[in-house]
Homo-oligomer: A and B are copies of this chain.
């Protein structure tokens, strides 16, 4: 429906600031039929008051029944069709550890694994070795050099690491080496297009050296590489919307995604209070703030309903401080649902409110899943939010005469 050409064409300069408050995994489910969701159970007088003056709805990040990963979930909130624009797993993993990825870097997600004497995989995660062991093995792999490229290996967590190659002419159209089953050897990297042949050969050479270096280790005596990818070259939000954009997020992955879409990533601390201090400090410098709260999702993933409730309540408590800055538009939403009941991301659409003096408020009086179902936005694609925010900030001119 909307597309970037339209936004590029229609955006005008303005004064009003847009605040996009993302509570990660905000949407939830009742623990028992008829009960409240996490958001419904939370005591949220400030969010409810804001909802009364807002237009509300349920945002669908990817599509009906589709559970979004964090990458697609955030791309949709930022206005990118998550089918058209994809961030490879290698790039996302590199973002996730704050690796300073450059434009032509090739990144892969790595697993340590266990192979038997014949080279057949017996454990795809090497017995989930601890992170300290991972750090140690990564240090060994850093010995590997390849002709014409710089090689970076970085530990992530447990059995996971990131491999980054930096140099001219790397092509990411490459197959993965994880056969996704046991009893067979890892696959070689294959070029999925003729220009990728040279890159495939380089990665296979790295794998061959890694195999030798790890030969005497146990259980992590081999590696698997997945999601070989390059920075996707996303259209930059500053150009699309004519905004100066800043990201305030505590976790590296979200900071990384924000960087990929062209936001300035502001240094901040670990707590919501740190994030608010950062917001205040930089308030005058930007037109748009992406403000990310991670811990709602973490609590959902842990299946901890009460903790998710209390984090939502914490956000509610600090909301007046944010509103005191007088944003022209406030959106409160999530990048996907993470119901404690499911202990994972889910497909459920996400409670969303959009406040501005011009939002045409609906009759929703409480910020919650069932209340938002009756909201004026209905169940809507998350990609609609940026154009709606721009309109409500009076930053779009009309289409056609």
Contacts and interface: CB of A to CB of B under 8 A. Distances in A.
A191 interface: no
A358 B373 CA distance: 16
A229 to B, nearest CB: 10
A363 B370 contact: yes
Contacts of A100: none
Nearest to A90: B401
Contacts of A65: 2, 384, 387-392, 396
Main secondary structure of the interface of A (DSSP, over half): loop
Given A2-B65, A401-B70, A360 B29 contact: yes
Contacts of A378: 378-379
B33 A53 contact: yes
Nearest to A375: B373
A69 interface: yes
A67 interface: yes
A2 B361 contact: no
B71 A400 contact: yes
Nearest to A397: B67
A399 B82 contact: yes
Interface of A: 1-2, 6, 10, 29-30, 33-34, 37, 53, 58, 62-73, 82-83, 86-87, 89, 92-93, 227, 339, 341-342, 344-348, 358, 360-363, 369-370, 373-374, 376-381, 384, 387-392, 396-401
22 contacts: A1-B381, A6-B63, A6-B66, A29-B358, A29-B360, A30-B360, A33-B53, A64-B380, A65-B389, A67-B398, A73-B400, A82-B399, A341-B358, A344-B398, A346-B358, A347-B396, A363-B370, A370-B376, A373-B376, A374-B374, A377-B379, A378-B378
